[in-house]
Amino acid sequence: EKGGYSTYMEKEINEQPQAVGDTLLGRTDEQGRLTLDELRIDEDKLRQVDRITIVACGTAAYAGMVAKYAIEHWTRIPVEVSLAHEFRYCDPIVSDRTLVVSISQSGETMDTLMAVKHARELGALTISVCNTHGSTIPRESDAVLYTHAGPEIAVASTKAFLAQITACYVLGLYLAQLRGGSYADDAQQVLTELHDIPGKITELLDGMERVREIARFMADTRSVLFLGRNVGYPVAMEGALKLKELAYIHAEGFAAGELKHGPIALIEPGQPVFIVVPGPSTPHGLHGKVVSNIQEIRARGARTLVIAEHGDTAVEPFADEIIRVPSTSPMLAPLLTVVPLQVFALELSSAKGLDVDQPRNLAKSVTVE
């Protein structure tokens, strides 16, 4: 049942190309335009949306953070991400033009369910991004956009995360398409690139041996930091969460720009730091800014584990290790950059002899508030 793998998590990491591909499948017409009739929401109603709030917990909330950058960039509709349990009890500002998107693999997370029910009571339009057919959150929502990751058994979410990001991209690009004009043209181009992602994940998964080795050497490590910027920031947070959950190691994800506002004080000789580097074509010179961050922490003795696109030579002088990922458009990068971090956490956990699929104190679906 584990398909020849020794853990479900490893199997699920390897199923990610398919999870992304299947989530895209059947959602475009012959002209290559997105069709989301399955939502059964009047297009005009979607055109009127003037604000989006994403509610989710844990890894699903990090998918939401990625979605915020992408959807705002593609549609110029303001998007906010709220942890579901915070949203529910903070007197959220919601109108009938607010779209509340919940993200949940299980569809049974009580915190997320309560947030959705509350949003509906307040008059919002609710869409559930969910991996489990017939589960409670989709039933309690106005519409559902299913992720097609297949059953996820390991407690640590991997393929569902990639499928959630993909579904949110689809939703964002669809909203851009509805806006028309240059929004629609740009969306069309990104969609073409999105279809290339499954092949790129396969290529990436084939080259993970060095990441495994690094993880095995680090079995005694007590703390790991993760830095990222823009869409790389939630990837850094997800890398840290995976390591906490699976290897019980203290780990923190930071926005790279925050370094000088405090966290750089943590850097001491030998401190391992993963840095998720934006592709060189990322707007606003973000690539160069993150490369300077790497330089700064290396100068203070950090051990820099750099995730960078193939061909990005600027990182070379400051990297102790470079983990290469295929290049793609900046907003889509999380579907690639998170993969080595998943493999790293998995391998470190097994190097410590821990139960990868069933980490201590955790349940696959959290059905209490």
Catalytic center residues: 364
Three-state DSSP state, 240:
helix
Cβ distance to ligand M6R smaller for residue 142 or 245:
245
**Residue 127 interacts with ligand M6R (CB under 6 A): yes or no:** no
| Shortest reach from residue 306's CB to ligand M6R, in Å | 24
Cβ distance to ligand M6R smaller for residue 322 or 343:
343
Cβ distance to ligand M6R smaller for residue 245 or 312:
245
Three-state DSSP state, 285:
helix
Q: How many residues bind ligand M6R (CB under 6 A)?
A: 16
**Residue 112 interacts with ligand M6R (CB under 6 A): yes or no:** yes
**Residue 194 interacts with ligand M6R (CB under 6 A): yes or no:** no
Q: What angle do CA 346, 349, 352 make, to 5 degrees?
A: 150
325 beta partners? 309
Cβ distance to ligand M6R smaller for residue 12 or 309:
12
Q: Which of 109, 126, 230, 349 binds ligand M6R (CB under 6 A)?
A: 109
Distance CA 2, CA 8 (A): 6
**Residue 329 interacts with ligand M6R (CB under 6 A): yes or no:** no
Three-state DSSP state, 125:
strand
* Sign of torsion over alpha carbons 349, 352, 354, 359: negative
Q: Which of 7, 23, 53, 59 binds ligand M6R (CB under 6 A)?
A: 59
Report the residue number whose CB is nearest to ligand M6R.
58
**Residue 13 interacts with ligand M6R (CB under 6 A): yes or no:** no
Cβ distance to ligand M6R smaller for residue 57 or 187:
57
| Shortest reach from residue 342's CB to ligand M6R, in Å | 10
Distance CA 364, CA 83 (A): 18
**In the stretch 243-272, what mask flags binding to ligand M6R with x, by CB under 6 A?**
--x---------------------------
| Shortest reach from residue 131's CB to ligand M6R, in Å | 7
**Residue 57 interacts with ligand M6R (CB under 6 A): yes or no:** yes
Q: What is the dihedral of CA 185, 189, 190, 196, to 10 degrees?
A: 160
**Residue 105 interacts with ligand M6R (CB under 6 A): yes or no:** yes
Q: Which of residues 195-254 bind ligand M6R (CB under 6 A)?
A: 245
* Sign of torsion over alpha carbons 97, 103, 108, 112: negative
Non-local (6+) Cβ contacts of 183 within 8 A are 74, 75, 76, 176, 177
| Shortest reach from residue 223's CB to ligand M6R, in Å | 20
**Residue 339 interacts with ligand M6R (CB under 6 A): yes or no:** no
DSSP string, 194-221: HHTHHHHHHHHHTT-HHHHHHHHHTTT-
Helix or strand (DSSP H, E) at 186: helix 181-195
Q: Which of residues 146-185 bind ligand M6R (CB under 6 A)?
A: 155-157
Cα 236 to its chain centre, rounded Å, is 9
Q: Which of 295, 329, 358, 365 binds ligand M6R (CB under 6 A)?
A: 365
| Shortest reach from residue 259's CB to ligand M6R, in Å | 25
**Residue 366 interacts with ligand M6R (CB under 6 A): yes or no:** yes
Site residues for ligand M6R per CB under 6 A: 57-60, 104-106, 109, 112, 155-157, 245, 362, 365-366
